[in-house]
Chain A
Amino acid sequence: MAMRSIILGVAASALIAAAAVSQTNPTGQTSPSTQPGAAPTQPSSTPRPGATTTRPLPKLPPRPRLGQVDWTQVVSDRRQRPGERLLAAFKTKLDQGAVDRTRIPILIPEDGPLMERARFYSFGDFYSLNLDVPNGSVELTGTKIFTPAPKNFINRLKPEGPENLTVVRTIDGVQASFTRYGLLYTVEIRCDEPKDGRCREEGPLRKILEKVRGVVLGREARRAAGLEGQS
């Protein structure tokens, strides 16, 4: 019994010591290091007044869910859209392997100069299409993976029209989100210079949005749409 108490006592001391180490050495270092020429920035071991070290447990994020693609609408739009030849030309700008791996409709702007140096990155259910504009870039994304948001997380946005278009200003640009075919798509313009007017007003982005009408389907998407064998 006495031995057990000693063992428990030693273990408790070790735990306390370990806790003390993690408290007094939060930089993860075993000894203080110095940076020659550096400003006096060494973190102190003592929390400042008001700092607390007890916190609530984080929650796991909500389980993502899959959106359902409205393939009927996709097929209908592709039939009604003029300029299929133009679309085919754009398609050759994209990495065909990446296009074929993409399981969702790929939206592209019907704008030759904008598509000139298109780079396409596919993650299957998500894609990113990166385009150049002078002193900036435009990124289009599409996804069928949604994360349920907490209450009042995004509903302060003011959605417009049947596609629930929302526009937000980011640090380096302007981002638009909208739903089409049951999926979420975004178009974002980013500028090299934060003061660039194209990235501080919605107009330039909305002009690009008006051109985002082309729909490209890769092999996986055509299969899902029941269009195997068609281009």
Chain B
Amino acid sequence: MSRLRLLLAGSAALSLLAACGEGAKNDAAAPADEPVAATDAPPVATAGADETVHDGGAEQLPEDPIPATEGPPETPAPAAEKASFPHGGVGDLLPGSGSGYADRTDWSPQMCWPMEEVGFPNSQVYNAGGSKGPSGKGQCDKTNYDFPWRDNFCESRGASNPACGSATGHQGQDIRPKTCEKNKHWAVAAEDGVVTDIGSYTVTLTASTPPYRIYRYLHMNMPALPVKEGQAVKKGQRLGQVSNYFGSTPTTIHLHFEMRVAAAEQTSDGKSLAARAFVPPYSSLVKAYERKLAGGTC
């Protein structure tokens, strides 16, 4: 069973994380710009360095089947250019973790890196501490908090993702915060927009300009969010602290970052099909972090 070490007034005590229920919901009737009092924020909890998460590592429920991995990415790797920090390629998933989607499209060319500080995109399931990761290592293993970055869009999961070869796969990118401490490192708005939904472990940000991308931020510190549903936010504005909320079963400490657009495609019989689709965030994250390294504001 996964346990989290709660630090209460400087003294450590072991406790199971309480389930997050209706109390986490924000009141939509409250004024949009009303600040949220931080006094009811829960004590800071820190996962121990030796802690192993046995909950599936991320959004994968134990009862959900993980499809067998298939062949190489559909799109061939194109020509190369110089990049500014160590990161794996688009669609280059951890071996054995599925077949990536090698799409070089920067689906949100102007977006902010969605963390206030450095973060480490990589797998929560197949890395240390994940249910399919190397044995004997916890989620705080230093390899999880290091470069190179690793794409995990389309990583083998049970949820739908038509872009992936098997039509199932991870719908976003998992990002670990700067350190293995929850409720400390901030996730920020990728674009100007409105917080259109807050769930028990999810925040939905809808961009205020076309194509009205929908960004989803999962597993933040929900009782202490500085935003409310209906609130307009600027890009770079704090949305919440990266944590491990996932209903009644905590996940690893990470931000699940997801982007959706209204996609339209011509089918083979010439008809037009449209659907709200998950788009791979990895290229946009790399470019956004490069802009941040180059002195960008976010």
Contact = CB atoms under 8 A, between A and B. Distances in A.
Contact of B197 (A37, A139, A164): A139
B221 to A, nearest CB: 16
Contacts, number: 283
Nearest to B51: A39
Contacts of A143: 212, 262
B276 to A, nearest CB: 5
B255 interface: no
B81 A55 contact: yes
B103 to A, nearest CB: 6
Interface stretch (A80-88, A106-114, A122-130): A122-130
Contact of B61 (A38, A146, A195): A195
Contact of B206 (A47, A117, A126): A126
B159 A41 contact: no
Interface in B271-298: 273-277, 283-284, 286-287, 292-293
Given A149-B277, A151-B265, A157-B275, A28 B180 contact: no
A184 interface: yes
Nearest to B213: A147
Contacts of B79: 56-57
Contacts of B61: 194-195
Nearest to B80: A54
Main secondary structure of the interface of A (DSSP, over half): loop
B36 interface: no
A191 B120 CA distance: 28
| Interface size class, chain A | 35 or more
Nearest to B28: A119
A15 B132 CA distance: 42
A128 B180 contact: no
Contact of A171 (B108, B109, B159, B179): B159
Interface in B140-159: 140, 142-148, 158-159
Contact of A43 (B47, B147, B229, B284): B147
Interface stretch (A4-12, A19-27, A203-211, A219-227): A19-27
Interface in B73-117: 74, 77-90, 103-109, 117
A58 B283 contact: yes
A51 B202 contact: no
A65 to B, nearest CB: 8
Contacts of B80: 54-56
B226 interface: no
Interface of A: 22-23, 26-29, 35, 37-44, 47-48, 50-62, 64-65, 117, 119, 121, 123, 125-126, 128, 130, 135-137, 139, 141, 143, 145-157, 159, 164, 166, 168-172, 175, 177, 179, 184, 186, 190-195
14 contacts: A26-B85, A40-B142, A41-B145, A52-B89, A57-B79, A58-B286, A60-B109, A61-B109, A130-B197, A149-B277, A153-B163, A154-B263, A166-B275, A191-B199
Interface of B: 7, 19-22, 24, 28, 46-49, 59, 61, 74, 77-90, 103-109, 117-118, 120, 140, 142-148, 158-163, 167, 171, 178-181, 194, 196-197, 199-202, 204, 206, 208, 210-212, 214, 218, 229-230, 246-249, 256, 258, 261-265, 267-268, 273-277, 283-284, 286-287, 292-293
